[in-house]
Amino acid sequence: MATEIRVPFEAFAEFISQLPSDALVALRDQTEEQLLSRGQQTHGDADVLEGEEFWKSELGKMVLDEADDSLSHEDLRRSLSSIKGSLSDDVAAERDER
């Protein structure tokens, strides 16, 4: 017998955003299986291949090497909030210099 637990979508999304990458991939795969079993369309194989190819690329490998699953979304937001100034102002200034 299944148990139904009602959770606001925003709370659910916040919770799953803190899962490690391998857990997110497993969740995505299970979600796609459920959609397919219901006759719903999921993203095409080309999208999956692009994602797999990205993680095999030099940049994708670098991202994986630098990733830190011990940091939560809230930790990241807290650390970024201490940065003074505007990133968009910095980008505009660099563009104007060129």
The model's pTM is: 0.36
Q: How far apart are CA 94 and CA 51, in angstroms?
A: 31
For the chain, the domain total comes to 1
CB atoms within 10 A of CB 39: 6
Note whether residue 86 is domain-resident: no
pLDDT of residue 1: 65
Note whether residue 19 is domain-resident: yes
Note whether residue 36 is domain-resident: yes
pLDDT of residue 72: 82
Note whether residue 77 is domain-resident: no
pLDDT tens digits in sequence order for the chain, 98 residues long: 667 778 888 888 888 888 888 888 888 888 888 878 877 655 555 555 567 788 888 888 888 888 877 878 888 888 878 777 777 787 788 888 87
Note whether residue 4 is domain-resident: no
Note whether residue 48 is domain-resident: yes
Q: What is the dihedral of CA 68, 74, 78, 79, to 10 degrees?
A: 10
Note whether residue 60 is domain-resident: yes
Note whether residue 74 is domain-resident: no
Q: Which of 23, 41, 22, 24 is nearest to 32 (CA)?
A: 41
